[in-house]
Structure 1
Amino acid sequence: SGRHGCGRKVGGHLSEANAHGPNSSAGLCPCHRPVEKGRHLQRVEQLGKSEATLWTHRVRFLEERALPRWATFTIWNAGRQGRRLYRSLSAAGRRKVGPAPPPIAKGFYCYEDSQERPKPRVPVLHFRAARPPFVICVKLDLTGGVFEDNLRSLRLQEGRDFLLFS
């Protein structure tokens, strides 16, 4: 499906999301659905919306539709997109992020620009130590199948245990 991971089949036993189903992660990307204009279908990106505006709408949609179902969740990816998602969440959304297992490497991500005191520190964990549900900020098809194999090994269900947000 979309290049941003919306309703994307990750392979193996992971099913393709149904854009109309109640647990569909495809709904997270309303900004990437085709928009009918006359006889032509266009992507919203082609209608002149800025990437920042699309990102803001996607985050808002995530917070309004998916996050209320979860008491806590893990952002899968401590890279640029994962940190950007964390910073884009509301304070209430950021408070839901953070698993309990011990962190790896540096051990945490500190949101330095936060107005909160103390500054929020989110543990950075190996994917096997983290607990679902996950909001996954990893672009698919960029790891030669390694990411997809790791995800498949956890035997998670898209829409219930994880949502693709990349």
Structure 2
Amino acid sequence: MSTYAEGDAEACAIGSSSEEAANHSSGEVPRNDGSAWIREQDAISSLDGNGIDLPRDNGDHDHLVQTILELRFQNEYFKTQIQNLQVHYLRGREDHVEHGAVENGEAVPFGDSTELREKVRILSQQIKEQKETQIAADDALTHLRSACDEADAKVAELSAKLME
């Protein structure tokens, strides 16, 4: 028994031109109303994988054909939607580039870019000042510790003299 993909490719190849078959096998859905595909399916539907005629006694085949057609149309619709979204995204990106709102290759929203740059500049300046203050405080602490150690040594020396 053949799988759906094999049967679908066979159906496309039986009743269509080689160009349509090539388009279909490359993943493209033939652009028609589906009636040619239904006729092709009807022509091969009564044959199983061994070429034996099989009677169609229930509506399962028709239901499957209808489902496949609906899925094809949905697939085309989704492809179109994706293409439209891609075009919309690219146009939006081009608008940012045209108006100079691009920094380091990344699009920046309008209006916010100037404010954001100013905030970044101010925060960078504050960080720099805090680092300088921290370095000065560390130096002062080191100086105080050395002064305290000297004072402790002098106290110990004077205490020893006083004991004598």
Q: State whether TM-score is above 0.5.
A: no
Name the one with the larger strand percent. 1
Name the one with the larger helix percent. 2
Taking structure 2 as the reference length, the TM-score comes to 0.23
When Rg is computed on C-alpha atoms for both structures, the one with the higher figure is: 2
Greater RCO, 1 or 2 (C-alpha within 8 Å, sep 6+): 1
